[in-house]
């Protein structure tokens, strides 16, 4: 039985695979760009002066497409799993689960948990996944 645990955020996913042969950790980096949106006039200008135009919708749309590509890579990496546990600090895990439910129903049925977990080292991620599958709650 191939049990997989994923710790993920928008930057990367640590994929821990537990099999009868042992455990393996792979890291999948995303291509999601992080936009530092700046708007407003510099502090030396008076109110009502020229301001930068921010095309937030354009940035958000680009991020949405980049997340979909990231999720497709992740689906490809876990497609032969028998059980999947998803952990992570932000809403990336929830978005990934939603993507699975909408487009990959057979994988979505294999999700055992979706839990919030702060940033962790690779060894902490391995321990989290091992502990989850020893004592699933």
pLDDT digits (tens, 9 = 90+) for 61-120: 888 899 999 999 999 999 999 999 999 988 889 999 999 999 999 999 999 999 999 989
- Residue 47, domain member (yes or no): no
Beta bridge partners of 17: 4, 24
Report H helices in the chain.
56-78, 92-103, 105-108, 122-134
- Residue 39, domain member (yes or no): no
Full domain range(s) for residue 124: 3-31+55-132
Q: Is the pLDDT of residue 38 over 80?
A: no
Distance (Å, whole) CA 25 – CA 4:
10
3-state class (DSSP) for residue 87: strand
Q: What is the pLDDT of residue 60?
A: 84
Q: What is the pLDDT of residue 63?
A: 86
Q: Is the pLDDT of residue 48 over 70?
A: no
Any idea what the CATH number is for the domain that residue 125 is in?
3.30.420.60
Give the pLDDT mean for 17-30.
92
What are residue 13's phi and psi, to 5 degrees? Answer: -135, 130
- Residue 38, domain member (yes or no): no
Instruction: Give the pairing of strands 3-8 and 83-88.
Output: parallel
What are residue 27's phi and psi, to 5 degrees? Answer: -115, 130
Structure tokens at 62: 């680009």
**Would you tell me how many other CB atoms lie within 10 Å of the CB of residue 136?**
11
Q: What is the pLDDT of residue 80?
A: 92
- Residue 49, domain member (yes or no): no
Q: Chain-wide mean pLDDT for the chain? A: 86
- Residue 43, domain member (yes or no): no
Q: Is the dihedral of CA 70, 5, 28, 35 positive or negative?
A: positive
- Residue 98, domain member (yes or no): yes
Give the pLDDT mean for 35-58.
60
C-alpha closest to that of 31 among 78, 6, 83, 66: 66
Domain count, the chain: 1
Q: What is the pLDDT of residue 36?
A: 60
- Whole-model pTM: value is 0.81
- Residue 45, domain member (yes or no): no
- Residue 40, domain member (yes or no): no
Q: Distances in Å between the alpha carbon of 30 and those of 8, 40, 56, 130?
A: 10, 30, 21, 24
């Amino acid at each position: 039985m191939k049990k997989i645990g994923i710790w993920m955020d928008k930057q990367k996913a640590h994929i821990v695979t537990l099999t009868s042969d042992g455990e393996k950790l792979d890291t999948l980096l995303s291509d999601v760009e992080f936009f530092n949106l700046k708007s407003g006039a510099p502090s030396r200008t008076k109110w009502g002066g020229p301001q930068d135009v921010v095309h937030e919708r354009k940035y958000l749309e680009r991020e949405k497409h980049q997340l979909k590509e990231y999720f497709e890579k992740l689906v490809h990496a876990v497609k032969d799993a028998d059980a999947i546990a998803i952990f992570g600090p932000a809403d990336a895990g929830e978005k990934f689960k939603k993507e699975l439910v909408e487009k990959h129903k057979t994988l979505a049925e294999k999700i055992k948990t979706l839990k919030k977990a702060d940033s962790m080292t690779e060894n902490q991620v391995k321990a989290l996944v091992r502990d989850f599958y020893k004592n699933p709650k």
